[in-house]
Amino acid sequence: MAELCEKLGAMRGRGEMVELVAGFLRGLQPAELEPAVSMILGRAFPRWSQKTLDISWAALYDVIRRLTQVEHERFAKAFDKTGDLGAAAAMVFESSKVRRQAALIERPLGILDVSWTFDGIAEARGPGARERKKRLLEALLGNAVPLEVKYLVKIIVGEMRTGFQEGLMELAVARAFDLPQKLVQRAAMFVGDVADVARVARKRGEEGVAALRPQVLRPIQPMLAQSVDSIREALKIHGGEAAFEHKLDGARVQIHKSDDVVRIFSRRLTDVTESLPEVVRRAHGLQVREAILEGEIIALDKQGKPLPFQYLMQRFRREREIKQMMQELPVGLYLFDIIFLDGVSLVDLPYHERRAKLAEVADGIPLIEQLTTSNVGDAERFLDDALRAGHEGLMAKRLDGHYTPGLRGKLWLKVKPVLEPLDLVIVAAEYGYGRRHEWLSDYYLAARDAETGEFLIVGKTFKGLTDREIVEMTERLKELTVKREGRRVIVTPKIVVEVAYNEVQRSPKYKCGMALRFARVTRVREDKGPEEADTIQRVREIYQGQVKKH
């Protein structure tokens, strides 16, 4: 498998990659399929699984040092050369005499050995867990050849970067077991991970895969939305009529109930049940035996008005202080979909029927406000209402649309008033990782203070430029460099870029007290000099505009 990953990393052609992986999967034992698929995608466990290895880089590095006796200098050099922790680890393993473990495993490492060890590491809890994790890790790496070390480390730190992604894996599974690609995709969305589909495909063929459905207590990939610019466009795409819903700026929750068990999953399928006791309580009150519901939670102020997104995030951070946070920062739950009810999957029902079912079972939990209309004016007024109430915009949902897990299609469209982009100056940059390790690919963006002339950082991004633009940018920034601090360079403020973003947040991170959320470079403003860049006063105005809205 390590050799396979090494080959994938060196390949460019997607078709070639898919063929190679398909052949590899076909040659595996049934029990190896699920872990192999996960690991090739760089994951220690399938996506829906709540298991985590919980190994810090410090702990992993400690084990590498124990095994190789390498000095820090040498490792740092290897890292500088490769820009990749896995490759650096492999290099030091290659060049040192590894203290072989009292052979736990006498034969070459197999996929299942790795999988079992990962399980053991994930299960280590309580006092002594750290040491136990390290011992298991030491046994694993101590029995691995350098190439295996490379990929084990990549999986552990979560940086596989072979370019072989989920979508290609779906193709490979389809090829390996002679299934239509669509079927594999759909099944993967239902059960939350393509690795499970591979296992079912091997065991029960096409019929088995076709029979896969959402399962209660197993999170499914959420359905996503595309952006449109206007209400009119949304109505046109949806054939003249649509259901508009308020788009709340909160966090998505998937609520699973099976008799008296309730689990809440985040949009990224993480189990967040413990952080949201009041949501759990409401779910227990539902008069259904089994259900999967979807909704949005938002933080509320004392008057019950929605607060911006960043407040809500505090609820997920403070695990120990949930009780107190519950009082200080109550959350409101608003439902918008139902996916599963009493043993039956509802994904193939049209939207309006799901919404009607949702209204039946919601039992006092509010649904997100909705208006079905074909009238542009009415929908625009509804959008104004939403914005005035402090929400983000509207979602337009196609009335006859099915629930399509994991897909960003046209059945759901988001209509958000767009914020105009800002022209900002690059004042510092950092070398990237992996493929980008020789390039200055991460940029600090600053606005000009019209009063003092100082450039104040308001955000940082590595998004938006193409590889070629990054290479050019690197050259230009190197010439402007005044100081190097580790992987970061400070440059004279010369280059102006246009930056899109979703929101200006209050943030202690930068001196100006604000930060752009989801900043991305949309183009390089060759036509502008730093003195023409947007000012910090302008950024403050935008921030205040948002606050007023809320």
Q: Which residues are catalytic?
A: 247
183 vs 224, beta carbon nearer ligand AMP: 224
DSSP state of 423: E
Compute how many residues bind ligand AMP; rule: CB under 6 A.
Answer: 13
Q: Is the Cβ–Cβ distance between 502 and 517 less than 8 Å? A: yes
Binding mask 324-363 for ligand AMP (x = CB under 6 A): ------------x---------------------------
Residue with Cβ nearer ligand AMP (214 or 222): 222
Cα–Cα–Cα angle for 445, 449, 454, nearest 5°? 75
Neighbour-count burial for 468-490, b at 16+ CB within 10 Å, e otherwise:
eebeebbeebeebeeeeeeeebe
Single-letter amino acid, residue 153: V
Report yes or no: 525 and 462 within 8 Å, Cβ to Cβ: no
Q: Using the rule CB under 6 A, is 247 a contact of ligand AMP?
A: yes
Closer Cβ to ligand AMP, 133 or 391, answer by number: 391
Subset of 364-403 contacting ligand AMP (CB under 6 A): 368, 395
How far apart CA 15 and CA 92 sit, in angstroms, is: 34
Does residue number 252 form part of the binding site for ligand AMP (CB under 6 A)? Answer: yes
Alpha helices in 318-389 (DSSP H): 322-328, 351-361, 376-388
Q: Which is nearer to ligand AMP, 26 or 463 (CB)?
A: 463
* Least spacing, CB of residue 502 vs ligand AMP, in Å: 8
Shortest CB 251 distance to ligand AMP, Å: 7
CB of 295 to ligand AMP, least distance (A): 9
Per 3-state DSSP, the chain is made up of helix, strand and coil in percentages (nearest 5) of: 45, 20, 35
Question: Contact region for ligand AMP (CB under 6 A) — 128-136, 172-180, 222-230, 321-329?
Answer: 222-230
Report the residue number, 316 or 433, with the smaller CB distance to ligand AMP.
Answer: 316
- From 220-228, 233-241, 280-288, 398-406, give the range in contact with ligand AMP by CB under 6 A: 220-228
Minimum separation from the CB atom of position 327 to ligand AMP (A)? 25
Contact assessment for residue 389 and residue 306, using Cβ atoms and an 8 Å cutoff: yes
- Chain centroid, CA 358 distance in Å: 28
Binding-site string for ligand AMP from residue 255 to residue 284, where x marks contact by CB under 6 A and - marks none: ------------x-----------------
Given a contact cutoff of 8 angstroms between Cβ atoms, the answer to whether 157 and 60 are in contact is yes
Q: Which is nearer to ligand AMP, 205 or 366 (CB)?
A: 366
The pair of structure tokens assigned to 501 is 């973003």
Select the residue interacting with ligand AMP from 209, 248, 291, 542 (CB under 6 A): 248
Q: Within its chain, how far is the Cα of 545 from the centroid?
A: 29
Rounded-to-integer distance, Cα 382 and Cα 64, Å: 59
User: How is residue 419 annotated by DSSP?
Assistant: P
Answer yes or no whether residue 63 interacts with ligand AMP by CB under 6 A: no
Q: Quick count: other Cβ atoms within 10 Å of Cβ 356? A: 12
Specify the residue for token string 């820090």.
72
Q: What three-state secondary structure class fits 51?
A: coil
Could you tell me the smallest distance in angstroms from the CB atom of residue 423 to ligand AMP?
A: 24
Report residue 84 as tokens: 């990749």
Q: What is the CA radius of gyration of the chain?
A: 26
Which residues are bridge partners to 409 per DSSP?
225
Q: Which of 2, 53, 225, 445 binds ligand AMP (CB under 6 A)?
A: 225
Q: Which residue is nearest to ligand AMP (CB)?
A: 252
CB of 352 to ligand AMP, least distance (A): 14
> Would you say 368 or 422 has its CB closer to ligand AMP?
368
Closest approach, Cβ 267 to ligand AMP, in A, equals: 5
The whole-angstrom separation of Cα 279 and Cα 284 is 9
Q: Which of residues 402-431 bind ligand AMP (CB under 6 A)?
A: 414
Near ligand AMP by CB under 6 A: residue from 32, 196, 296, 442: 296
Closest to 158 in 3D by CA, of 266, 44, 62, 80 = 44
CB nearer to ligand AMP: pick between 36 and 519: 519
Binding-site string for ligand AMP from residue 226 to residue 245, where x marks contact by CB under 6 A and - marks none: -------------------x
How far is the CA of 55 from the CAs of 43, 122, 156, 159, 478, in angstroms?
14, 9, 7, 14, 36
Applying CB under 6 A, does 293 fall inside the site for ligand AMP? no
Give contact residues for ligand AMP (rule: CB under 6 A).
Answer: 222, 224-225, 245, 247-248, 252, 267, 296, 336, 368, 395, 414
